[in-house]
Amino acid sequence: MWCLVSYFVLLTLQVAGPVAVLATTAVSSLFFIVSFTTRYDANGTPSSVLPLPFLVFLCLSSPTALSMAIERAIYLDVAQIGLTWESLYLGDFPLIIPIVMLAFDSLFYFCLAMWLDKVVPGEYGKKQPLCYCFQPKYWSSSLRYGAQDKQVDSKHAYECVNECEHIEPIPEELKALNKLRIFGIKKTYKTSSGPVDAVRGITLDIYENEITCILGHNGAGKTTLVNMLTGLTPPTEGTAIIYGKDIRDTYDMREIRKFTGLCPQYDVLVDNMTCKEHLYLYAALKGIKKSEVDWEVQKILKDVDLIDKADCFTRNLSGGQKRKLSVGIAFIGNPKIIFLDEPSAGMDPKSRRHLWTLLKNKKNGRIILLSTHFMDEADILADRKAIVSKGKLRCCGSSLYLKTKFGIGYNLKYV
């Protein structure tokens, strides 16, 4: 039970901070109310001046319920009555009441913690409605996924027409492959100095069988955009449709994650686990069949050139090797869409070249969205480059289109 209480307190502290500390301390101190209102007769029998319903209410605080149970158990021992099935029901406030309330508190705190985790998420995640558990689609998979894939209505798409004029026209045969569509997506953070717009209305189509590069300086909004597309943070406005699933819908986002691979900007690795153990862990999370796990792990280790480091703890890896492992984790499970947030940061030139070859070989049949601030990396890898600055899309197209559009390069004339 105390594990469930600790889980509830941990979530509360994450959400409310110092306020939660005071509230938790106050609730835990409710036993003093019981202590100060308890009277003992000549035989040492405890009785309370508080009404029974109020005592039961106080037992919703599990520390109070436990303290009251211990107090009554001590009385039964001192009075030489002993703890038996019959003695559980003795007195105005029998021992059975706090025992039952402790069992009830276990379920109550578990449900409350799960509810708070959904409706008041921490730094990451999307807030759900207060009554989300009463929605039919929460309980019925047929209602949740039985409908046809969502599409953004034409009115919304019209309102989200990109303000950027420097967008390369797309051939008709390529339009059927626009499996990731971003519509006017925005993200505003509230700070002490006022709201800060990290992403300011990006509208963009990203195509299957291609590597699309989000190119921009530090602070341009690349990571924030990736975080919104992967569900780590909800957009303030706008949306994105990924293979027919809307990122604004919690249940659609759950489906999107099943075919998504992510290499975050900063490595999320456990120091005391080996490279192989990390891949086994993520293979289990991705639901790969046990008969295929060993083959998949060996394949990924070979792809990212970490075969000789398979049994090495990640704390002993270099920065570039950690990035390789993060890229391998993103590819495990053969996802349909892969987000790579500055994957080559910290790699030596040889490792970067190896990574570029890997990405080119892996792009068929999937979407690869790569963010970087290296011009050479974008020029070599990307089929299409989207340049972002100060949270806005400035231009998008192939290298040839952008160089032609902005006059970059040389003209050679034969006379």
C-alpha to C-alpha distance for 373 and 215, rounded to whole angstroms: 5
pLDDT in tens, 154-213: 444 434 445 567 887 888 878 788 889 999 899 988 888 888 888 888 888 889 988 999
Secondary structure (3-state) at 18: helix
Which domain range does residue 83 map to? 2-122
Name which of 57, 126, 128 is nearest 98 in CA terms.
Answer: 57
* Tokens (6 digits) for 302: 């070979």
Residue-wise pLDDT tens digits, 132-169: 677 766 666 555 544 444 554 444 443 444 556 788 78
Q: Domain check: are 248 and 344 in the same one?
A: yes
Same domain, 104 and 171: no
101 and 230, same domain (yes or no):
no
Phi, psi of 60, deg, nearest 5 = -65, -20
Over the stretch 291-306, which tens digit does the pLDDT of each residue have? 889 999 999 999 888 8
What pLDDT score was predicted for residue 158? 39
Instruction: Please report the sign of the dihedral spanned by the C-alpha atoms of residue 24, residue 26, residue 29, residue 30.
Output: negative
For the chain, the domain total comes to 2
Establish if 220 belongs to a structural domain. yes
| Distance in Å from the first CA to the final CA of the chain | 88
Mean pLDDT of 235-246: 89
Nearest to 62 by CA among 21, 19, 96, 30: 30
Average per-residue pLDDT in the chain?
80
pLDDT band at 345 (very low <50, low <70, confident <90, very high): confident
Task: State how far the Cα of 315 lies from the Cα of 322, in Å rounded to an integer.
Answer: 9
At residue 277, the pLDDT reads 92
CATH code for position 169 = 3.40.50.300
* Residues 249, 164 share a domain: yes
pLDDT tier at 8 (50, 70, 90 boundaries)? Answer: low
Instruction: Give pLDDT, residue 24.
Output: 58
Are 178 and 75 in a shared domain?
A: no
* 33 shares its domain with 112: yes
Residue 276 lies in a domain: no
d(CA 245, CA 257): 11
Contact assessment for residue 402 and residue 167, using Cβ atoms and an 8 Å cutoff: no
Taking 70 as the threshold, does the pLDDT of residue 6 lie above it?
no
Query: Considering the domain boundaries, does residue 8 fall inside one?
Result: yes
